[in-house]
Chain A
Amino acid sequence: MLVNQFLLLAAVLFCIGVYGVIARKNAVLVLMSIELILNAVNLNFIAFALRNGSTDGHTFALYVIAIAAAEVGVGLGLVLLVYRNRKTISLDDLSEMKG
C-alpha cells in the first residue's frame, strides 16, 4: 500500500470540504463540510501514524474527534439561537458584523 494513496484521498476530501465551506449558504451544511475537512485531517494523522510506527497519530486523531464533537455541539447551539432570533440560518443574511 502506498503512503500516497491515503494522503491523496485525504487531500481530495479536504478540497471537497473547502468547496463545501465556500459554496454552501446554509450554516448546518457549512458545519458538515468542516466535518469533512476534519476527517481528512484525521485520515492523514492515522496514515502517518502507521508510516512512522508511532501511536501519536492515534492520540491526535482521538483528540480531534473529541474536539469536533464539542465544536458541532456548540456550532449547532449557535445556529439554533440564530435561527430562533432571525428565522433564517442562511449566512448571506447574517452580516451585522459588517466593518
Chain B
Amino acid sequence: MIAASEALNQLSSGWFLDHAYLIPIVPAVCFFIIILFGKRLPMKGSEVGVLSMVASLVLAGGTAMQWIDRVNSASEGQFISPVVHTWNWWQIGGMKFTIGQSIDGLAVIVLVVVAFISTLVQIYSLEYLRGDRRYTHFFAALTLFSAGMLAMVIAEDTILLLLGWEIMGLCSFMLIGHWWEDGANSRAALKAFFTVRTGDMGLLVGISMLYFASNDWTTENLGVSGFSIRGISAWALSGEPNSTVILVVSIALFIAAIGKSGQFPLHTWLPDAMAGPTPVSSLLHSSTMVVAGVFLVSRLYPVFFTGFDILGTGGNFITIIGGITIVIAAALAFVQNDIKKVLAYSTVSQLGYMMLGLGAGAWLPAVFHIFTHAFFKACLFLGAGSISHSASHHSFDMKKDMGGLRKVMPITFTTWIISTLALCGVFPFSGFFSKDEIIDNVGNNGYNTFMIIGLIGAFMTAAYMTRATYLTFFGTARGASAGEHHDEHDAHDAHDSHDSHAAASPHESGLLITVPLMILAVLALSSGFLNATPFGEKWELIKKWVEPSSAVVMETAPGGPGHSAALSLPKAEEGHHESPCGSETPEEGVCYAPQLQHAKFKWSKAAISLGIVFFGMLSSWFVCVALYTKKDKRLVGLTQRNGALRAGYKLLDNKYYLDTLYENVIVKAIAGPIAAGAYWFNNNILDGILHLVARVSRTVSGWVYRNIDQRVVDGTVNNSGRATRGVGGILQPVQSGKVSQYGALLFSAAAVAALVLVIINS
C-alpha cells in the first residue's frame, strides 16, 4: 500500500553533526587540565572552564544549525534519521558494548540548552566565587558536570547514558558539598547522592532488563545491540515485548527519573541541595541536572508509551506522580522564607508539569517546556544570587534581609519580573507557549482531571511567585538590604574574604553578573516564539525540528541512517499526520517514535488559563500588601492564635469582612494549612522514613554483626579451640612421669594386642 513516494531527498549532513561527539569530550579533557594544572594557571583554571564551555556551545550551535538544514532538506513526511557514529568499546562473552553519538531533534535542543546555560553560569561564577578557597575545584566539578550531562544527551547506547547519569550524580555530590566545612552542606550532599543513587538502582535494573529483553530482536532486525536507544525504541513499538516486562522496565526507569528529577516521593533532596553555591543551584538544580529525568523519559519515550499505554488510559503512573508533585511543591513554596527554597519548590513543581506532559502524551510541549523553563528558572536563580551577593550579605532570607530592592537593583528587578511572568505563563512570555501548551494537550489527550490539576498549579505558581517578588522587591527594606550589617554570618561565611570591598548598603551587582541576567531575561521573553502555536503552523519551528517523525521506516542499513519510505499519510484534519505507529504496530518496517496528537490551539482555552493566572497574582498581591506592609492585625498571626474562644467572635466578624474572609478562604486556606501540612508531612513522614530506614539498618546491622557474626560464627570457631584444649586436659594425667607406669601401660597394651591378634587369626 506504499504509494509512489515522493523522491526521497538525500539528507544533508555536515562536519558539526558528524563530530558532535566532541561536545562532551572537550569539557572532559578540560576537566583533567583544570585538575592537573588548575592551580598554576593565571586565572586558577576558571578560564579553561569557560573556554571549554564556549567551545561546546559553538559546537552545539553548529550541530543545531546543520540539524535544521537536515530537517529542511528532508521531504514532507520523510523520516529524518539521527546522525549515528558508534565505536566498539569492549567485548565480553559474545556481548558487544558500543559507545557512540546519536544526534536527533531532542538531543540537539537539550545540547543547546545545556551548553548555553553552562557557559552563562561559568561566566557568572567567575564573579560570584572570586576568592573562594577551592575556586579551581569548583570549576573542575562544573566542567565535569557539563561533560557528564552532554555525554548523556548525545548517548547512543544506555551504557553511555548510565555513565553520564552517574557522573552527574557525582558532580552534584561534589558541588552541593562545595563548602563541606559546615556539616549541613555535607549532609545535604550525602542526602542528594543517596536519593539519586537509590533511583539509579532502578536505572541499573531497567537497563539490564531492557538489554536482555530486546537484544535478540534488535540484533536480528536492526543489527544493533540491546543497549542502543534507537534499537530499544524500535523494539518497544514493534509490538514484540510482552506487557508485563515492558511495564516493569518502565516503572524501574521511571523510579530513576523520579530520583533524579526530584518527583514526588524522592523530591526531599532538591530543596536541601540549595545548600550549594547559587551558580550550582541555577545550573544543576534548575535547568540541567534535574531535567535529566525528564530527558530519560523523553529519550526512551516509546518504552514508556507502550509500558504505560499512554494514549489508552485516562491516567497513568507518570501523570499521577506529576500531578501530585505539581500541587504539593507549589503548596510548599508558599511557606518558605528562603528565596532559593521557593525557587527550588517551583522547579520541582515545573518538573511535575513536564512529567505530566510526557505522561499524558504531550511530548513536544514537555520538551519545549524544558527549553523555556531552563532560561527563566536559571535567570531567577541567578537573580536570587545577585541579590544575596550584592544586597543581603549572602543571606537568602526574604523576610529578614530583603524588601524594597526594586529601586536599588533595577536590572536584577527587571530581569526578575520578566522571568517571573514567564514562569507564571503570562501571554507574550515563553512560559505561556510551553506551560499552557502542556495543559492544553493534556486536556486534549483525554486526561481532563490532570488538566484541572495543571490549572490549579498555574494559579498557585502565580500566587507564590507574586508573594516572593513582593517580599524581595516591594515593601520596606528590612535587615541587610536596609543597610544594617549582620553580626552573625550564615552558612556561607566560608568565602568572606572578598566582602571587604562591597559597601554595606545594597547596590546593583557587577557586569559579570548582570550581563548573564539580561541575556537570560531576553531569552525568557523571546524563546516562546520559537514554537508559538497560537500564531499558526509556520511558527511552530521547534515542532518541525525536534519532534521525531513517526513515519514507518522500511529496511534500515544496520548502523547507518535508514532511508524511509514516506507512506501515503492519510490526511487527517489539518495539523495531524495519522500514521500506524503508536496506534497499532506496522506490518513491515519499523517505527522509531509513536504518533502523537497536537491540540488545536484555541484562544478561548488560553483565555481561561490566563485569567486564572492574573487572578492568582492579584489576590496574592492584595494579601501581601495587607499582611506585610499595613501589618493588618487581623491578618497577622491569624493562623497562629485561632482558638475555640475566639471562634464565636470571628463568626460574627465574618459577616462584615466577607471579602477578606473570602480571600482567606481562597488564598490563606489553600496556602496556610495545606502548605504547613505538606511541609510537616514532607519533613516528618518522608524524611522520617529515610531516617528510620537508616536507623533500622544501623541497628539491624549492629545486631547482626554482634549476634550472628561474633556469637554464632565466631563462637563456633572459638569453641572448637576450647574443646580441643579440654580434651587435652583430660588426657594429661596419663603423662604421669613415672617410668614404671609407662612400662605397665606399654606391656598391657601389647598383651591386649597379642590377645586380639590371636583371636582374629584363630
Contacts and interface: CB of A to CB of B under 8 A. Distances in A.
Determine direct contact between A and B, CB below 8 Å: yes
B370 to A, nearest CB: 85
Interface stretch (B222-230, B432-440, B589-597, B731-739): B731-739
A38 to B, nearest CB: 15
Interface in B710-741: 732, 734-740
B711 to A, nearest CB: 34
A92 B740 CA distance: 8
Interface residues of A, number: 14
B738 A22 contact: no
B740 A30 contact: yes
B747 A99 contact: no
Contacts of A97: 737
B740 A98 contact: no
A92 B736 CA distance: 10
A47 to B, nearest CB: 19
Contacts of A95: 736-738
Nearest to A97: B737
A94 interface: yes
A98 B736 contact: yes
Nearest to B738: A95
Interface string A17-60: 01001101100001000000000000000000000000000000
Interface in A60-79: none
Nearest to A27: B739
A91 interface: yes
A22 B751 CA distance: 13
A22 B175 CA distance: 89
B740 A91 contact: yes
A96 B735 CA distance: 11
A21 B743 contact: yes
B737 A24 contact: no
- The A contact surface, by secondary structure, is loop
Contact of A91 (B734, B735, B739): B739
A99 B738 CA distance: 11
B738 A92 contact: yes
Contact of A98 (B735, B743, B744, B747): B735
Nearest to B751: A18
A96 B744 CA distance: 18
Nearest to B748: A22
A30 B738 CA distance: 13
Contacts of B734: 99
B502 to A, nearest CB: 88
A96 B737 contact: yes
Nearest to A21: B743
Contact of B747 (A18, A30, A92, A94): A18
A21 B747 CA distance: 9
B738 A91 contact: yes
Contacts of B732: 99
A47 B739 CA distance: 32
A71 B740 CA distance: 18
A94 B740 CA distance: 10
B743 A22 contact: yes
A24 B740 CA distance: 8
Contacts of B739: 30, 91, 94
B740 A22 contact: yes
Contacts of B738: 91-92, 94-95
B47 to A, nearest CB: 83
Contacts of A96: 737
Nearest to B735: A99
Interface in A79-99: 91-92, 94-99
Contacts of B743: 21-22, 30
23 contacts: A21-B743, A22-B740, A22-B744, A24-B740, A25-B740, A30-B740, A91-B738, A91-B739, A91-B740, A92-B740, A94-B738, A94-B739, A95-B736, A95-B737, A95-B738, A97-B737, A98-B735, A98-B736, A98-B737, A99-B732, A99-B734, A99-B735, A99-B736
Given A94-B739, A99-B737, 20 more contacts: A18-B747, A21-B740, A21-B743, A21-B747, A22-B740, A24-B740, A25-B740, A30-B739, A91-B738, A91-B739, A92-B740, A94-B738, A95-B736, A96-B737, A98-B735, A98-B736, A98-B737, A99-B734, A99-B735, A99-B736
